[in-house]
Structures are given as C-alpha cells and as structure tokens.
Structure 1
C-alpha cells in the first residue's frame, strides 16, 4: 500500500462487540473512512459516506464473491454442515450463494425481476385488510394481560403468521424451523466462531425442512412461493434455482423483520414520550419504524469484494480484496445524522442504510413496512402505554442485531 491507513485490532464478530457494538463502531468511524481489520485481513468502513458510496457502486464493489467474510470464488465457507443447501443447483462447497444477495449484473437483474414482480406494491397492498385484522386480534389479546414477551408474541409471531402464510408455507413446522434457519444463514456470513457452530448444531433438522418446503409441491399454489417458481421457470431458471430464490426470500423476509419489529417495540417502550407522540400522530408510523431501523439496524453489515483498483473516500483499495460495510455504524454517523444516538420519530431518517441501497437494496422492505404499519397501528389504537417490565435480552448473530426477549406490558386505552 502506498498510503498510511489506520489498522485496528477490533473484531466485529467478538461477543463483546456483538452485545454492544456502538463503542467499537465509534472507534472505527473516528479512525478513518476506511480501516484495515488485522484480525480478519479485510478492509472495513463505518462511515456513512463511504458505506453508501460502496453499495451504490456495484460495478466496483461486487456481491458475487459472497456478502460474508469468505470469498466464495476462492475458498469454501466455514463449514460443510450445509450440504443440504449446497445441493440445490448452482452452489458448490458449503452453501448455495443467494441468487438475490450474491450476484452481479446481469444475473442479479434477472433474479430481482422474478421476486420483485411477486412482491409488487399492488400485491402487498392486497394484504393490508387481512393483515390489519390479524394484527388487531393479536395486539387486542395482549392488552391488560400482564407481562408477556414482545419478541415471541409479536415481533416473531407476526411475520411467522403473515409473511409465511403469504409465501404459502404450511402452518405446521414453520415456528421451529424458519427462525433457526435464518439464524444459521446470517451467522454463516461471519467467521467460523462459536455462534456459527451453535447455529449449525440444529441444522440437521432445520435445514432439510426448509429446503423441502421451498419446492412447489410443498407450497400453496396461490402463494408468493409458487408464483416465484412460475416466474422463475419463465425466466429460464431450473426447479432447484427457483427453490433457491424462495429460500433466499425466506431467510431475509423473516429474520430481519423480526429484528426490526422487536427494536421498534423496545424503543417505544423505553421512550414513552415518543410513544405518546406516535399515538397522537399515527401518520408518523412509517417514520417511527425507519428511525428504529436506523438506530438498531437489523442487518448490521455485509461484505463486498473490490473487483478493480479504486479509491473510496480518499483511500486506495486494491482489486481482489474484501471490505466490510458496517451499516449499523454508518446509520449512527454524526457526519450524516444530528444526535445520531437518539430515538426521534420526527426525524427524517428515510435515507438510512438499514435496508441497504442501490441494486441490492432489500427487495422485501415493502413487506416489512406493511407488517410494521399494521402492528403499530394496532398498538396505538389499543394500548395507552407500552412498558418494559424487566431488562431485555439481546440475540447475538454474526450479521443481524435484535432482541431475543423483551418483557412488555400493554395498558388499555379504554
């Protein structure tokens, strides 16, 4: 290197950092626009301007080498435990690369066209009435019932019911399989640490169920999964590749939404003045969810591969190396956000990177917005107050951030 670049011994995948990442994020942001992480031999950026520039420049910063630590063009991933997934078509080695997350143009456009056509705005709007009714019922049953876990009873239950129904999965088996599968999938983007090994341990039961249920014979014929298969076939995808598309949607559509819904519940419960403001102005519901996603980004990071010599925010990066883009740090960058560590539902936070940006921006974010909308509207109608009754517990994952448990009480507005 013909330059002096800050070198850091911070490990973004250590348990201490995963438990409370923000001190480490601040150190990385203040060290420079791009930092060398000596523990993993990769570049990293925690600043908003650099992270955003990289995700928007897909021709220079490639996803095809994998959005995790391992470079899928050169080496296998951390385990051979995922043989069931690797057998589904194009993947070789430890896992099948995501046809949505881990492809460049023009292949990415083709996959995105299939899934994006199914998750169209009109298709999502068509779910509003039924999803609203179900959210009203779920929240109404929890008001004035005493303490309950907001994660299992709302943040998890809502996507497991609404999203999984829309995809066309059977009710039986989804609860015990989809969440562990997503946890494994996102842990796999990191190093072969203890978190990854623990999530692999349950894979023998979880992964085969998910793999089987991504094929048309296990999906309801009118669900989003079956529609993806029909469109995938018309685009020239094989049956196995269609199943990989459905599986990619399941991994992203359940876990990150659970994390985002859990965070907005926690932030509203711990900021009663913000919840009161939301009840007074339900038009701020989307802004409140965006602010929660900015402040506690469900997807805290992804990698990119540098495919040609380039300069990112004044730092020379050589071709062939990987860079870690820390969305969770960028979304709290004081260079971009005023009072970045505060939760303010009136903030104009729609430019956050919690759903990514550019061609790889989350294709299912419109689904997450609707799920958040129906949940928060039900809360503001039924509950005069939302309170935490004891400290929450964080769920640790190499890629995502969210709560494992959130003791809540809801007081009736009647």
Structure 2
C-alpha cells in the first residue's frame, strides 16, 4: 500500500480518465469555473495523478458520495489526509469528522444549542446591527466590502451569539483559515495558514472553555449538555471549537459572495428591490452559484461502485461541490445568477447527516443583512476590481471595493 499526501494512493479505476490538473493550484482556486466545467466533462469521476485520488463534479455522483455516510465516511478526514494512517494537526472535529453513532450524539447536542428557537431570539439583534452597519456604509459611499461589511457584520453579531466574553476578529478568521486550508495538500496556502498556529490555537482553546463563555449563548448551551451527561466537559469544549472554526469564515464568504453577485448582476438586484421577499432565494442562489465551501473529501470505507465505476477501499474522493452546483444537467442556465431561482437541493451546505448544522444561523445573519441592504441601498456598484482569495476549501473574496448609493 503506497501512502501519498497522508492517504492511500490508488490507481485509476477502469473507465476513469486521468487528468493532469492540480485542484489546489492557486489560480484554479481563485477562478475555478473552467476547472469545474472540465471536471464535469471528464465523466462521473476523474483521476488526479498528482494526488492519486478521484474527483467528482457532476451533481448526481457528487450528491451520492457526499450523502452516503456508510460507504463514504468523514471520520477518516474531510481533506486529503486519512486519519487512519496519519495523526491530524489537531484533534479531529467530533461533529464534522465523525461518523454515527458518535456523530449522532454530538450533532444532537449542537443542533439543540443552535435550535430554531434560539436563533429566532437573535433576529432583532441581527436586524438592528445590519441596519446600523448599512447606514454607516451608505454615509461613507465607497468602502472595502470584505473587511468593512462581510467580516464586520458577523464579527459584530456572531461572538455575542456564541457568548464569547472576549473576541478577536483576526484570530477567529486566522483559525478558520487554518482549519479550511488544512484539508488540502502541504502547499503554500496550508503552510502560510499553519504558521500562525502558535499564536492562534492556544487563544482558541482557551476561549472555548466554560468560564470564558457568558450565560445565554450557544457555548453555554453546549456545556449544559455536559452537565446533563450527554457529552463530557472536554467534548463540550471541542464542540464550541467546531462552532468557532466553521461559524464565522463561511458566513463572511457568503456575505462577500452575495454582494459580488448583486453588484455583477444589477438587473437581478433591481428584481430583488422590487420583491424583497426574494431575499432568502437570492442568498440560496448565491450559495449555489459561488459555493463558499468549494470542495471536501470523503473516504471509501470499503470497495464499492458509483455510476458503474469501481472504487477501491480507502480511496479518497474529492467532492467538488462548486462544480456540482453548476451542473447544467441539473440546473438550467446554471452559469447565470437568478434571484428567483428555485435552488432546493444545492450542495453548498452539504447534504445528508453532515449537512451544515449551523446553516440556519448563517441564513439568519445573512438574510438580516440583505434585508437591510435591499431596504436602504438603491444601487450596488464596483469601485475597482474584485480579488478572490485562494483557499484549499473556501471560495471567498479577498478584496471587494464597492459603492452603496441610496434610493
């Protein structure tokens, strides 16, 4: 058995085309649409010799692999590294990188903490914060939307919702960058992110402890499950850590990507202005169109087949969610952004038992912000060229110069 990049190196299965591409090349990560298109054109799967893995980008096969937690497991890591073969850089997430029955226990605790009732109780706070921030930016007129809006809004509302007694936007974002870049190979992106570990990881670990969390937030709700004996104190801290690692960066990406979509498609923004009830649909279309989480891996737990392709045990499969969400065979006019599109079934939040447990929180935050923008901003215009930030798992903007003009 040959080990490559921390996983079993497989040979190309019969009927699968070898494709000499690096999915983690910085240029592809910054502008992946042509890569997505070619991956789908290769068939149900492509074999990537650089990493000796399979990749899928068509909707049907990607959904099948991503949703079938019995054949294709997460506990061996959602990146290239196989946790059965190599120890990960930090203890695995006990919700994202876990399988049933353990995953069932931890997800139940997290889902209760992030219940619809708990999130509904934050609606007024989110809306007030959104209106205040949009008013501030309208007064400025031109601004850098990644730092001043996409990062600024979640940084105002997310840490208090968790119950963090102390917050540090940069450390929270740097930790998320570490977590998501760590799923890729040992490339420059991963090394640059991990170089901050000595500063960031101890701070995160400390602020996940019970005494660092205020009563009434999601964090303390998780620790209440420890008091009830559902999880241990250590597991509660790890669940808070998972909340911090996934709850900020992906929301930042969703906000920035939504603004980019609306600025790029002024007629669609006009349609949204005419019918503000489409705010949620517009956000879901942003998720489909830009896939903030562009790729995660699964590991074949045993030999199996998908689309008549034999997949050997231990094979790593790169599920390219961004490509699947642009599959023309599933989404008519997939390469067009339409605020009124019916997007049920998109894979941006995952699917199956590992569907994003915090997706309703992300929706609540971003819908509050989009509602304020639609109500107050007449026109969204670029004030320079957008710049995308390469990341081994996240498709997000690095720079987004915008102008808000009032009605």
TM-score relative to the length of structure 1: 0.93
- Does residue 347 in structure 1 map to residue 341 in structure 2? yes
Corresponding residue pairs, total = 396
- Equivalents in 1 of 2:108, 2:231: separation in Å? 12
* Secondary structure, counterpart of 1:58 in structure 2: coil
Aligned residue for 1:86? none
Alignment of 1:225-304 (within 5 A): 225-304=219-298
- Equivalents in 1 of 2:71, 2:38: separation in Å? 26
Aligned residue for 1:53? 64
Aligned residue for 1:394? 388
**How far does residue 164 in structure 1 lie from its aligned partner after superposition?**
1.2
- Does residue 5 in structure 1 map to residue 16 in structure 2? yes
Matched-pair contact (CA < 8 Å) for 2:119–2:361: yes
* Secondary structure, counterpart of 2:51 in structure 1: coil
Matched-pair contact (CA < 8 Å) for 1:392–1:406: yes
**How far does residue 250 in structure 1 lie from its aligned partner after superposition?**
1.1
- Equivalents in 2 of 1:388, 1:232: separation in Å? 48
The partner residue of 1:126 within 121, 125, 128 is 121
- Equivalents in 2 of 1:283, 1:199: separation in Å? 39
The partner residue of 2:39 within 25, 28, 31 is 28
- Equivalents in 2 of 1:292, 1:249: separation in Å? 22
- Does residue 75 in structure 1 map to residue 104 in structure 2? no
Matched-pair contact (CA < 8 Å) for 1:394–1:403: yes
- Equivalents in 2 of 1:202, 1:318: separation in Å? 37
- Equivalents in 2 of 1:152, 1:209: separation in Å? 22
Q: 1:356 to 1:235 in 2, by over 3 A?
A: farther
**How far does residue 120 in structure 1 lie from its aligned partner after superposition?**
0.6
**How far does residue 206 in structure 1 lie from its aligned partner after superposition?**
1.4
Alignment of 1:7-406 (within 5 A): 7-77=18-88, 94-171=89-166, 173-406=167-400
Greater displacement, 1-10 / 396-405: 1-10
Q: 1:235 to 1:38 in 2, by over 3 A?
A: farther
Matched-pair contact (CA < 8 Å) for 1:391–1:407: yes
Matched-pair contact (CA < 8 Å) for 2:93–2:242: yes
Aligned residue for 2:6? none
* Secondary structure, counterpart of 1:387 in structure 2: strand
Matched-pair contact (CA < 8 Å) for 1:114–1:232: no
- Equivalents in 1 of 2:274, 2:230: separation in Å? 51
Greater displacement, 248-257 / 226-235: 226-235
- Equivalents in 2 of 1:179, 1:315: separation in Å? 39
RMSD: 1.2
Matched-pair contact (CA < 8 Å) for 1:49–1:313: no
- Equivalents in 1 of 2:199, 2:68: separation in Å? 39
* Secondary structure, counterpart of 1:211 in structure 2: helix
* Secondary structure, counterpart of 1:181 in structure 2: helix
**How far does residue 20 in structure 1 lie from its aligned partner after superposition?**
1.1
Matched-pair contact (CA < 8 Å) for 1:144–1:411: no
**Structure 2, unpaired ranges of 5+:** 1-11
**How far does residue 235 in structure 1 lie from its aligned partner after superposition?**
4.2
Matched-pair contact (CA < 8 Å) for 2:79–2:182: yes
Matched-pair contact (CA < 8 Å) for 2:106–2:231: no
**Could you list the per-position Cα deviations for residues 48-103 of structure 1 after superposition, in whole angstroms to 9, with x for gaps in the alignment?**
000111122111010010101000111234xxxxxxxxxxxxxxxx2111111111
- Does residue 408 in structure 1 map to residue 402 in structure 2? yes
* Secondary structure, counterpart of 1:311 in structure 2: strand
